[in-house]
Copies of this chain bind each other. A is one copy, B any other.
């Protein structure tokens, strides 16, 4: 990194910390209002679920996109909080579905408080997020938000259907990650723009930006699941393989595989995926077939497309300044090691 890149990164980190803190303040204040006279266990579960050292990336996007379009006021942080509520609701339900004991290095909500509490707390956060979106971003915002949440469920179903399925196509892969991840990232951007009263061109640009970084985020996640080291990645490496997820490096390798290599991969995918030897063999095959490099190239292309979408924000000072931060965030997604 040259000094200027380091500076940009430091600026982004400082902004992220500040927006994260303001979002957390908004969440605490909202919970206080919404949970008046509520059951103490519900209060405890929600606080446990929400205040866990999360990176608050979705709120960061909402705030930066609104600022980029010229609006920044205290209600913006409550709007941003709605995206964190939804995200945490999703995690609470995911951990029940995946029977995951750990989340961010401590017991998951399901492990700590039980399945019932995790499902119900997820439902509470889900309802509250839509309440806030409807109130702060109006019918248009609610439409965007709910479309993204229903699509997310569809993406989960579509993924289930293709577990360990060698016939999964790249088209299908991108359709699923769009539904599962990018749509909601894009909606955090789009609704931030909507809140600021952005015109269609601005809103579309930020939606594209969100869509592309969301997809890149997922591709990098796929890579980290193979490449990361325990302690760095925060969850056990090889998880996706164990679950039979058809990740991008794997799909790209399959595209280039000889029929013999394809047969080997099929055997590995349909065998006991919990064996470290199986993971290592698959890893080496993907490496040989350039699957990791190719996936990294695609992530790069997605980030380039995200940066390009921001080109229209180049006139006013607030546009330039906030678009720069969004660009830096996109580059960070590409460079992240965990």
Name A residues whose Cβ lies closer than 8 Å to a Cβ of B.
Answer: 34-35, 38-39, 41-42, 45, 93, 96-97, 115-117, 119-124, 126-128, 130-131, 134-135, 138-139, 142-143, 146-147, 149-150, 153-154, 156-158, 160-161
B contact residues around A138 at 8 Å (CB): 139
Q: Which residue of B lies closest to A155 (CB)?
A: B39
Q: How far is the CA of A93 from the CA of B115 in the complex (A)?
A: 11
A119:B93 contact, CB within 8 angstroms: yes
- Chain A interface main SS type: helix
Q: Which residue of B lies closest to A116 (CB)?
A: B97
A154:B38 contact, CB within 8 angstroms: yes
Which listed residue, B127, B156, B160, touches A153 by the CB 8 Å rule?
B127
A83 to chain B, nearest CB (A): 14
A119:B96 contact, CB within 8 angstroms: yes
Q: Which residue of B lies closest to A35 (CB)?
A: B154
Q: Which residue of B lies closest to A146 (CB)?
A: B131
B39:A158 contact, CB within 8 angstroms: yes
A97:B126 contact, CB within 8 angstroms: no
Q: Which residue of B lies closest to A133 (CB)?
A: B134
B contact residues around A117 at 8 Å (CB): 157
Q: List 19 A-B contacts (CB under 8 A).
A: A34-B150, A38-B157, A41-B161, A42-B153, A42-B157, A97-B116, A97-B120, A116-B160, A120-B156, A124-B150, A127-B130, A127-B146, A131-B143, A131-B146, A131-B150, A134-B143, A134-B146, A135-B139, A135-B142
Q: How far is the CA of A128 from the CA of B143 in the complex (A)?
A: 10
A195 to chain B, nearest CB (A): 15
B contact residues around A45 at 8 Å (CB): 157
Which listed residue, B39, B41, B126, B142, touches A142 by the CB 8 Å rule?
B142
User: Which of A143, A146, A153, A161 is the most central at the interface, judged by chain B CB atoms within 10 Å of its CB?
Assistant: A153
A89 to chain B, nearest CB (A): 8
B130:A134 contact, CB within 8 angstroms: yes
B146:A128 contact, CB within 8 angstroms: yes
- Evaluate whether A127 and B149 lie within 8 angstroms (CB atoms) in the complex, with A97-B115, A156-B120 already known: yes
B134:A149 contact, CB within 8 angstroms: no
A43 to chain B, nearest CB (A): 9
A10 to chain B, nearest CB (A): 38
A140 to chain B, nearest CB (A): 10
Q: How far is the CA of A151 from the CA of B149 in the complex (A)?
A: 22
B contact residues around A146 at 8 Å (CB): 127-128, 130-131, 134
B contact residues around A119 at 8 Å (CB): 93, 96-97, 119
Given contacts A42-B153, A97-B115, A135-B143, could you give 11 more A-B pairs where the C-beta distance is less than 8 Å? Answer: A38-B157, A42-B154, A93-B120, A97-B119, A120-B157, A127-B149, A130-B130, A130-B134, A131-B150, A134-B139, A134-B146
Q: Which residue of B lies closest to A42 (CB)?
A: B157
- Evaluate whether A142 and B157 lie within 8 angstroms (CB atoms) in the complex, with A119-B119, A123-B149 already known: no
A39:B161 contact, CB within 8 angstroms: yes
B contact residues around A126 at 8 Å (CB): 123, 126-127
A280 to chain B, nearest CB (A): 29
